[in-house]
Structure 1
C-alpha cells in the first residue's frame, strides 16, 4: 500500500464522525437499492404463487384436441408437465334444495391435474379411476344432499341448452348462469349417457368455480391411455423455460398439429415479465427505466453529498500532499480509494440491512395481506443471485459516479488554494452582490444570510440539489402510485358489488329488508333499471364514434346517433348520498316533477384495436341540457316519445351496481318514482329490479339468502372477481405507499445530513459573526431566512423537474392506457409545506449543535 493510501486510511480514522456519516449514507443508499429490487421480486413471486393457488399452474392451453395432437404436445421438448382435462358435462342433482344450483358439473383431470390445480381435499382421497368422483362440500352444506364416501350414484350426464326467441337452440357453457324467465327455469338438460360413479372423497369448493355457476363442481379421473381416437380433450402445458419465445413456439406447434384453439395464461405469465402485448411490454420496460433512474439519481445524490463534503474537509490535507509532491493522479486516486474502502464496508452491511428491513416490513404487512386482502399466500423475502449481483453492481456504479466529481476536484487542489481555502469561499464583490430590495424588505439578517449562501456556492448547491432530488423522488413516486391505481381500476371490469339479487316478479319489500338485515351485509342499494333510446347530435357523441360516422354515415339518422340509455332508479336515500358524492343538487333530483338526472359521461373501456385501456368521454354535453327519451314499439315499428330529462350533473363516478355499458350508451341515474312513472305511462315498458349487496362474507350471505327459499329471485355472486380486484389494488397500494415511505425517509435523512454537515463546517463563520456583535435573535433570523432561500430555490428547480418526470411516467403508462395527464396538486401542496418543515427543522437541529460553541475555540478550529 502506497503512502497516499495509508494517509487516506489515517484520515478516515481520525475523522471518525465524518467517516461514519459517509458510511451511513452509503449504507442507506445500498439498502434502498437492495430493498427496492427485493420488494419487486418478492411482490411478483407472491402474485405468481397466489395465481397458482387460486387458478392453477399452467402456461399454455390447447383446447379440443384429439389423441394424435396430444402426442405432438407430449413429445415437445419444451413441455415439462402436461395436464389433461375434460368437461364431461352436467347432471341433475336429485334432491337438491338450492334452486339456483340444480346441477352437478363433472370435470375430469389426469394425475398431473390434481397436482397443478388447486384441489383442496377435505375428506377421503383423490379419484384414481374413471368411475370415481370427488364431491364438493357445498352439495351437503348448501344443496342439502348428503352423500358419504363409498356411495355409488348414477348420473345422466349431458349438456345445458336454451331455445332462443328466434327458435334456435344454443348450448350453454359451465360459466353461464341459470337461465330464467319470470322466476321459471327455461333451459333444458339434454342427457347423453348414464354413468355410475363411486364417491371417494370430498373437497372444498374449487376457487375457479364461478359463484353464479348453476352446478356444483365434482371431479373425476381421466386416463390418457384410454382416450379414444374420436375423443376431444384439453391440454394445459407447464413449460420448462418461461421467456418471450413461448408465444411463437406455442403458435408454431399449434399450427403444425392443426390445433385451432390456443390460449395463454397471461394472468400468470405477466408476473414473469412475459407478455405478448407490445403496449404492456413497453409499459413495463419504460416504467422500470424511469423508476430505476429515479432511484439511482437519489442514491448518487445521497452518496455524492457525503463524498463532496468529505473532500471539502480534506482540502487542507490534500493541499499538504501537493506541497510534498503528490501528483494529480495520486490525489484523485486517494478519493477513489476512500470510496472503495467505504464501499467494502457499506455494501455488505447495506445489503443485509435492506433484506432485514424488507423482512421486517413483510412480517407486519402479511397480516394485512392475509386478513384484509383475503390472500392465501404470504409475502416472503425472495432473493435471486441476479438481484444480488444487480444490487452490488448498481451500488458500485453509484459509488463510482458519486466519487468521480469529488475526485476530479481533489486532483486540482493546489497547496496554496487549500491553505487559503480559495476553492471554498468566494469573496469578490460580484460573487456576493445582493439586491438592495432584500435588505429593505427583510433586513440586514436576510442580506447576510443570502451573502453566506453566495460566498460558498458549492455547499449551497449541494443542499439545494439534495432538496430537489427529494422533491422529485416524492412527487414521482406519489404520482406513480396514484396513476398505477387509476390504471388498475381502468383495467378492471367495473364490478363494485359482491352479490346481485334479481327480482323476477313483484317486489317484496319485506324480503328486501330481510336480506339487507343479514349480519355480514355492510351496504345495500335497491335499483330499478329501464332501457330506452336517445338520439344524440353527431357533434356530441364520443370521439371514437365520430371516427366511425365519418367513414360510414349509415350510423346516423338526420345527423343524430342512437344511444342506448339505461336508466337506474334509486330510492331517495341512495340518490341523495350519490348526489352528494358527485356534487349534484339533490333537491332538483328528488323533485319528481322536474325529471332531472345525473349522467355518467366518462367511462373506462378497453380499446381492442390499440390494446389500450382508455378513459373517454362517452358524450360531450353540459349541465342544463336535456336528453330526449324514446322507445320503439316493435309491434307497430313506431318510435314513441317518453320524456325530456334535464342533466343535473355530469360525473365519472359509478353508484354501486352500475357498470359501464361502453360506447354508444349512457348510464343515467334518476329518482325511482320518475322511472316508475315512465313504466306506468307506457305499459309496453318493463323495468327490472335489483338489490346490490356488499358483504364481509359473500358466500355466507349467499347461503343465508338461498335458505330463504325464494323462487322469485336469483343470485349473482361476483365476490371472486371483486376480491381479485381489491387484492390487486390494495396490494399495489401497500407496495407503492411502502415505497413512498422508504423514499421519504431517505430524502429526509439526506437533507438532515447535508444541512447539519454544512452548518457544522460553518462554525468558524458563525463565531466570527457573533464576535462582531450579532445577537442570538439576529442569528436565528439570519438562519430562518437561509431556510426560506433554500426552500424557494429547491422548489424553483424541483417542481419543473418533477413535472417532467411525472410526464415521462404518464407517457410510459400510455403504452397500455389512455387518459389525460393531470398534476397531483394535493401532493405538490404537501411537498411545498414539507420542504419548509424539513429545512426548518434541519436548521434548528443543526443550530442547536453549534449554539453552545465557545467563540474563541470555534475561531481556532480548523476541522470537525
Structure 2
C-alpha cells in the first residue's frame, strides 16, 4: 500500500464521524434501490403464485383432435413444458337439481396436468389410475347429488350433439327454454371408485354455463394412439413468455386452435398484446426508477460532497509537501472504493433485510385478508439481476460523486486549501439581508439567513435533501393512488356476492318471498335486494347527447345526420325497502320519487368499456339532459308488444344499490324506479334476488339448504364471489403494496434528511462555538436555529411541490395510456409533506444540537475536520 493510501486510511480513521456518515449515505442509497427492486420482485412473485393457485400454471391451451397435430405442437422448441387433458365424455347426473347442468364431464389428465391445473383437494386424494376418480364438490353444493368417499359408481358415457354438431364444455346446455335442443348419445359405460373431492374449477377451466360438473381421472397413455374424435387439450408453458403472443399470432392458420389464453399469468411474467397496457407499465416503471435514481444519487453525492469539502485542508497540506494532482485524485478514488466495499454490501443486506422483515410482518395480515382458502404466502423474493444492477449503479454513482467535488478541489491552490477560503468567499453583497428581514424575524432571523448565505454549498445540499424527500413522498403517493385507481377501474365491480335468477313469472310468489326473508336473516348476510329488469329505447335529440356518441352513430350507419338518436335504456324495478334506503343515502327527497302520477327515476349515466381503437379503458357519459327532464321510452315485452311511457329523470347518481351494475354498458343508460310505482306494470318476466355476505363461502351451503327446503331450484344460485375473488384480492394486494411503497419512500426520505442535517450541524460545531463566545444567549441561539429550519423547509417546498406536481402529471399521462382517467393531485399527501418537512427538520436539528450543546467552547473552537 502506497503512502497516499495509508494517509487516506488514517484520515478516515481519525475522523470517524465523517467516515461513518458517508458510509451511511452509501448504505441508504444502495438499500433504497435494493429494497424497491426486491419489493417489486416479491410482489410479482406473490401475484404469480396467487394467480397460479387460482387459475393454474399455464400460458395457453390448445385444442386438437388428431395425433399428428398433437405431435406437431409438443415438438415446437419454443415450448418449455406441456401437459395433456383428454375429453373423456359426458355422463348424465341422475338427480341433478340444476336443470342447466345435468351432466358429469370426465377429464382425463396426464401426470403433469395434475400439477398444471388448480386442483385443490378438500377430501381424499388424487386418482392413481384410470379406474379412480376425483369429484368436484360443486356436484353436491350446486347439483344436490351426494357421493361418498370410496363409493363405486357406474356411468353411462357418451357425447352431446345438436343438429349433428358435437358440443363441448364451452357450449351451454341447450334447454328447451333457450329454443335449442340437444341429444345425448351413449357410447358405453365406465366404472370408477371415488377417491376424493376438490373445489370447483375457476371459470377459465369450467365456465359458469358449462353443462357438466368436472370429474378427474388419470389418462391412459395408450389412448393417445387414437383419439377417436375425442378432444385433446394441451396446456403449454413457453420458455420465453414475452414471445407468447408472437407464437399465438403465428398459429392462427392451423386446423387446431388456441382454445384459451391465460392473460393474467402472461402479463405478470412480462407479456401483453395490449399496447396501452405496455405503455402504462413501461411509463410508470421509467418514472419510478428515475425518482429512485435521483434519490440515491442525491444521497451519495451529498455525503461525498461534504466529505471532500472537509478534506480540502488536508489536500492543501499534502499538495504543499509534494503530492501531485494525480495522487490526490487517486486518494479520493481509493477512499470512495474503500467506502463502497463497506457500504454497498451493507446496503444490499439492509435493503433485503428491511423488506424481508416488512413482508414477514405482513404475511399474517395477508392470510387474514385473503382468507384461509388461499394458502399462498407472502415471501421475500430477491431478484439477482436487480441486486447486481444495484451494486454496479451504486459503485458508478460513488465514483462520480467523489470525482466531481475532488475535481473542483484539485483546481484550488495549496494555500487557499490550507486557509479553507474556497468554500466561503464572503463579500458584503453576498451576505447582505434586507432591513425587513431583521424587522420581521429579529437579529436571530437575520443571523440565520446570513449563516445560510455564507456557505451556500452546505445550504444547498440540505435543501436538496429536503427537496428530494418532498419529491419522493408526493410522487410515491401519486403513483400509489393512480395505480390503485387504474386497477380498480379495469376490473368489473360487483356489489353483491350471490345472485338468484327466476324467469318466466310476473309476480313473485310466496315461497320466493319466504326464502328471501330467511336468507337475508342469516347471520352472514348484511345486504340484499329484489330487482326486476326490462329493456327499452329512448329517442333523443342531437343536443341532448354528447357529441362523440352522435358522431359514432352516424359513422356506424345507425342514423342519418339530423335524425333522432336511439338510446338503449335498462330499467330496474327495485324493491321498496332497498329503494328508500338508497334515496336516503343519496340525500334526495322521498316524495319526489313516490309520486304515482308520473314515473320518476334515478339515472345512472356512466359508461365503462375497452376501446379497441384506442386500446385503453374509457370512462364517459352520454347524456347532456338536465335533471327533471321528461323522456319518452318505448318498452318491449316478450310477445313483441310495444308501449310508450314518459319517465322523469329525477336525479343523476354515481352510486347504486346492491344488484345494480355501477356502469351502463354498450352505449346505454340505467334507470332505477321504486317497485311501488310500477305495481300494475306486469311486463317484467324475470326477477333477481341479490345478497351480500361477510364470508360468502361459509354461508353458501346455508342458502342452498333454504332454497331446497322451500322446493326451489338451487341451481339458479350463482356465487359471484367465487369468480371475482381473484379480482377483489388483487385490488386488495395492490392497495397494501401501494401503501407499503409510500411508507418505504417516507422512511428513506426521513433518513436522508436526518443524515444530511445531523452531518451539517456536526460540521458547524466551531461556528456555533464562535457564536456562543461572542455572547449569544441560549434562547437566541434556539431562535436562530428555528429560523434556519423554517428557511430550509420553505425553500425545499417551493421547489419540491411544483416538481412533484409535474411528475404526478407524467404518472397521470402514463396511466391514461391504458385507462382513461382524470388528473388530480394527492392533496392529503401534499399537506402531510408540508407539515412533515418542518417536523423532521426541527427534530433532526434538535437531536444534533442536544449532542453538542454541552460541549466546551474552547474544545469546539480547536476542532479540525481532517
Using structure 2 for the length normalisation, give the TM-score.
0.90
Deviation, 1:351, is 1.6
- Given that residues 97 and 713 in structure 2 are in contact (C-alpha distance below 8 angstroms), is that contact kept between their aligned partners in structure 1? no
Task: Give the equivalent residue in structure 1 for 2:697.
Answer: 699
> Residue 183 of structure 2 is aligned with which of 176, 181, 190?
190
Distance in 2 between the 1:748 and 1:664 partners?
49
- Structure 1 residues 148 and 186 mapped into 2: Cα distance closer, same or farther (>3 Å)? farther
Q: For 1:146, what is the secondary structure of its paired residue? A: coil
Q: Does residue 496 of structure 2 align to residue 488 of structure 1? A: no
Task: Give the equivalent residue in structure 2 for 1:165.
Answer: none
Task: Give the equivalent residue in structure 2 for 1:47.
Answer: 47
Distance in 2 between the 1:552 and 1:196 partners?
54
Q: Does residue 75 of structure 2 align to residue 75 of structure 1? A: yes
Distance in 2 between the 1:860 and 1:577 partners?
77
Deviation, 1:763, is 2.4
Structure 1 runs not aligned, ≥5 long: 162-167
Q: Does residue 514 of structure 2 align to residue 546 of structure 1? A: no
Distance in 2 between the 1:637 and 1:573 partners?
31
Q: Does residue 365 of structure 2 align to residue 368 of structure 1? A: yes
Distance in 1 between the 2:556 and 2:147 partners?
61
- Given that residues 542 and 562 in structure 2 are in contact (C-alpha distance below 8 angstroms), is that contact kept between their aligned partners in structure 1? no
Deviation, 1:753, is 1.2
- Given that residues 96 and 145 in structure 1 are in contact (C-alpha distance below 8 angstroms), is that contact kept between their aligned partners in structure 2? no
- Structure 1 residues 602 and 832 mapped into 2: Cα distance closer, same or farther (>3 Å)? farther
Q: Does residue 26 of structure 2 align to residue 26 of structure 1? A: yes
Q: For 2:776, what is the secondary structure of its paired residue? A: coil
Deviation, 1:794, is 0.8
- Given that residues 528 and 658 in structure 2 are in contact (C-alpha distance below 8 angstroms), is that contact kept between their aligned partners in structure 1? no
Q: For 2:112, what is the secondary structure of its paired residue? A: helix
- Structure 1 residues 830 and 621 mapped into 2: Cα distance closer, same or farther (>3 Å)? farther
Q: Please give the residue correspondences for 1:530-541 in structure 2 after superposition, counting only pairs within 5 Å.
A: 530-541=534-545
Deviations 1:556-595 (A, max 9, x none): 68543222222334456645665576x6435566544685
- Structure 1 residues 698 and 35 mapped into 2: Cα distance closer, same or farther (>3 Å)? same
Q: How many residue pairs get matched?
A: 847
Q: For 2:489, what is the secondary structure of its paired residue? A: helix
Task: Give the equivalent residue in structure 2 for 1:515.
Answer: 519
Q: Please give the residue correspondences for 1:767-786 in structure 2 after superposition, counting only pairs within 5 Å.
A: 767-786=769-788
Q: For 1:338, what is the secondary structure of its paired residue? A: helix
- Given that residues 156 and 191 in structure 1 are in contact (C-alpha distance below 8 angstroms), is that contact kept between their aligned partners in structure 2? no
Distance in 2 between the 1:398 and 1:588 partners?
70
Task: Give the equivalent residue in structure 2 for 1:155.
Answer: 156
> Residue 717 of structure 2 is aligned with which of 715, 718, 740?
715
Q: Does residue 200 of structure 2 align to residue 206 of structure 1? A: yes
Distance in 1 between the 2:713 and 2:592 partners?
31
Deviations 1:756-782 (A, max 9, x none): 222222223233333333332322222
- Structure 1 residues 523 and 53 mapped into 2: Cα distance closer, same or farther (>3 Å)? same
Q: Does residue 667 of structure 2 align to residue 664 of structure 1? A: yes
Distance in 1 between the 2:553 and 2:660 partners?
32
Task: Give the equivalent residue in structure 2 for 1:741.
Answer: 743
> Residue 292 of structure 1 is aligned with which of 270, 289, 292?
289
Q: For 2:801, what is the secondary structure of its paired residue? A: helix
Q: For 2:429, what is the secondary structure of its paired residue? A: coil
Deviation, 1:494, is 2.2
Deviation, 1:482, is 0.9
Q: Please give the residue correspondences for 1:783-822 in structure 2 after superposition, counting only pairs within 5 Å.
A: 783-822=785-824
Task: Give the equivalent residue in structure 1 for 2:401.
Answer: 402
Deviation, 1:66, is 2.4
Distance in 2 between the 1:592 and 1:286 partners?
53
Stretch moving more, 151-160 or 332-341? 151-160
Stretch moving more, 73-82 or 35-44? 73-82
Q: Please give the residue correspondences for 1:370-769 in structure 2 after superposition, counting only pairs within 5 Å.
A: 370-374=367-371, 375-504=374-503, 505=505, 506=508, 508-542=512-546, 544-552=548-556, 554-555=558-559, 559-570=563-574, 574-575=578-579, 578=582, 584-587=587-590, 591-592=594-595, 596-623=600-627, 625-632=629-636, 640-646=644-650, 648-651=651-654, 657-670=660-673, 672-673=674-675, 676-678=676-678, 680=680, 682-683=681-682, 685-686=683-684, 688-708=686-706, 709=708, 710=710, 711=712, 714-769=716-771
Distance in 2 between the 1:808 and 1:613 partners?
18
- Given that residues 542 and 618 in structure 1 are in contact (C-alpha distance below 8 angstroms), is that contact kept between their aligned partners in structure 2? yes
- Given that residues 141 and 704 in structure 2 are in contact (C-alpha distance below 8 angstroms), is that contact kept between their aligned partners in structure 1? no
Distance in 2 between the 1:535 and 1:351 partners?
66
Q: Does residue 360 of structure 2 align to residue 356 of structure 1? A: no
Q: For 1:372, what is the secondary structure of its paired residue? A: helix
Q: Does residue 214 of structure 2 align to residue 217 of structure 1? A: yes
Task: Give the equivalent residue in structure 2 for 1:235.
Answer: 233
Distance in 2 between the 1:362 and 1:331 partners?
45
Stretch moving more, 757-766 or 736-745? 757-766
Task: Give the equivalent residue in structure 1 for 2:117.
Answer: 117
Distance in 2 between the 1:573 and 1:832 partners?
47
Distance in 1 between the 2:671 and 2:160 partners?
39
- Structure 1 residues 145 and 836 mapped into 2: Cα distance closer, same or farther (>3 Å)? same
- Given that residues 538 and 566 in structure 2 are in contact (C-alpha distance below 8 angstroms), is that contact kept between their aligned partners in structure 1? yes
Deviations 1:155-200 (A, max 9, x none): 3544387xxxxxx99998646777889xx89876621115322223
Stretch moving more, 188-197 or 621-630? 621-630
- Structure 1 residues 91 and 632 mapped into 2: Cα distance closer, same or farther (>3 Å)? same
Stretch moving more, 191-200 or 457-466? 191-200
Deviations 1:712-769 (A, max 9, x none): 6721211133211121111112222212111101100111111122222222323333
Q: For 2:603, what is the secondary structure of its paired residue? A: strand
- Given that residues 438 and 447 in structure 1 are in contact (C-alpha distance below 8 angstroms), is that contact kept between their aligned partners in structure 2? yes
- Structure 1 residues 169 and 427 mapped into 2: Cα distance closer, same or farther (>3 Å)? farther
Deviations 1:96-115 (A, max 9, x none): 45667543233333333223
Distance in 2 between the 1:572 and 1:788 partners?
59
Q: For 1:43, what is the secondary structure of its paired residue? A: helix
Deviation, 1:553, is 5.6
Q: Does residue 243 of structure 2 align to residue 269 of structure 1? A: no
Deviation, 1:861, is 2.8
Distance in 2 between the 1:573 and 1:638 partners?
30
- Given that residues 84 and 109 in structure 1 are in contact (C-alpha distance below 8 angstroms), is that contact kept between their aligned partners in structure 2? yes
- Given that residues 98 and 713 in structure 2 are in contact (C-alpha distance below 8 angstroms), is that contact kept between their aligned partners in structure 1? no
> Residue 276 of structure 2 is aligned with which of 249, 266, 279?
279
Q: Does residue 335 of structure 2 align to residue 338 of structure 1? A: yes
Distance in 2 between the 1:577 and 1:633 partners?
29
Distance in 2 between the 1:5 and 1:542 partners?
75
Q: For 1:644, what is the secondary structure of its paired residue? A: strand
- Given that residues 22 and 304 in structure 2 are in contact (C-alpha distance below 8 angstroms), is that contact kept between their aligned partners in structure 1? yes
Distance in 2 between the 1:655 and 1:705 partners?
18
Deviation, 1:520, is 2.3
Task: Give the equivalent residue in structure 2 for 1:35.
Answer: 35
Deviation, 1:665, is 0.6
Distance in 1 between the 2:727 and 2:824 partners?
24
- Structure 1 residues 747 and 580 mapped into 2: Cα distance closer, same or farther (>3 Å)? farther
Distance in 2 between the 1:389 and 1:294 partners?
19
Structure 2 runs not aligned, ≥5 long: none
Stretch moving more, 794-803 or 227-236? 227-236
Deviations 1:657-697 (A, max 9, x none): 42423242112344x24xx42452x44x3164333222233
Deviation, 1:214, is 5.5
- Given that residues 299 and 752 in structure 2 are in contact (C-alpha distance below 8 angstroms), is that contact kept between their aligned partners in structure 1? yes
- Given that residues 127 and 134 in structure 1 are in contact (C-alpha distance below 8 angstroms), is that contact kept between their aligned partners in structure 2? no
- Given that residues 554 and 561 in structure 2 are in contact (C-alpha distance below 8 angstroms), is that contact kept between their aligned partners in structure 1? no
Over the residues paired in the alignment, what is the CA RMSD in angstroms?
3.2
Deviation, 1:148, is 4.7
